Chains A and B, each alone.
Chain A
């Protein structure tokens, strides 16, 4: 298993540009999520999905869109990038959307710089 993969590893955008951060997992996990990590802020949940076709907002959803057309993929879209979206983005997944022993597996992160 490759686990949770994210592409690209690093991206520079200009203000107003759009882009999609890719996240994929090959573990047949139902639950997937996106977090952003900013200095001094820890990780904050952007959006999450409890299965194909089902998504919901987290703590900081503004400026981001998601969709979940397959179990494996959970892309994060920035429609019009802003400097405030400069951050490190992590994708995470777990087998079940809930449950006692569910462990989340994190991807390696995507570093995004918006100029």
Chain B
């Protein structure tokens, strides 16, 4: 069974600085997708970034980038130039390539941005 672990319940970062959120996962599949979702106080789930396991290149989306280490089963999210609007819960999620579009989530990291 696949599991997703986020070992940092809370993180904080100074505005304009960089922060890295950690995520590890366990799976027996060779191909899969990994995601980072943001959940602000409104509770809306917002997709931040996606990584396909067969791609060696790390995904980037503006100030958000990932460090994907397939052998180590690690998938960290780096937020550069942190902004007040980045404050939220961040969830790492896994999805197998085969089968239905079901997501398996980690327990989340609450990010605080300090002005």
A-side contacts of B91, CB under 8 Å: 42-43
Residue B56 at the chain A interface, CB threshold 8 Å:
no
Closest Cβ of chain B to A73, distance in Å, is 18
Q: Decide if A42 touches B45 in the complex (CB within 8 Å).
A: no
Interface size range of chain A in the complex? 20 to 34
Expressed in whole angstroms, the Cα–Cα distance for A42 and B43 within the complex equals 12
Q: Mark B90-103, 1 if CB is under 8 A from A, else 0.
A: 01010001111111
A87 at the interface (CB under 8 A from B): no
Interface membership of chain A positions 62-101, coded 1 if the CB is closer than 8 angstroms to chain B and 0 otherwise: 0000000000000000000000000010101010111110
- A48 and B102 contact, Cβ closer than 8 Å, known pairs A42-B91, A42-B108: yes
**Helix, strand, loop or mixed for chain B's interface?**
loop
Identity of the chain B residue whose Cβ is nearest the Cβ of A95 in the assembled complex:
B101
Chain B proximity mask over A31-60: 1 for CB below 8 Å, otherwise 0: 101010000111111001010000010110
Please report the C-alpha to C-alpha distance between residue A100 and residue B52 in the assembled complex, in whole angstroms. 8
A106 to chain B: which residues have CB within 8 Å?
A: 44-45
Task: Output the nearest chain B residue to A30 by Cβ-Cβ distance.
Answer: B101
Contacts of B107 in A (CB 8 A): 40-42
Residues on the B chain within 8 Å of A44, using CB: 105
Q: Bin chain B's interface residue count.
A: 20 to 34
- Write the chain A residue with the least CB distance to B52: A100
CB distance from A50 to the nearest CB of B (A): 6
8 A Cβ contacts from B23-63 to A: 42-45, 47, 50, 52
Q: Are B99 and A45 in contact (CB under 8 A)?
A: no
Chain B residues, CB < 8 A from A45: 102-104
A96 contacts across to B, CB distance below 8 A:
101
| Residues in B whose Cβ lies below 8 Å from that of A26 | none
What residues on B are CB-neighbors of A94 within 8 Å? 101
Contact in complex: B47, A88 (CB < 8 Å): no
Which A-B residue pairs are the 3 nearest by beta carbons? A106-B45, A42-B105, A43-B105
5 A–B pairs (Cβ distance < 8 Å), ordered by A: A42-B6, A42-B91, A48-B102, A94-B101, A108-B44
Name B residues whose Cβ lies closer than 8 Å to a Cβ of A: 4, 6, 9, 42-45, 47, 50, 52, 91, 93, 97-108
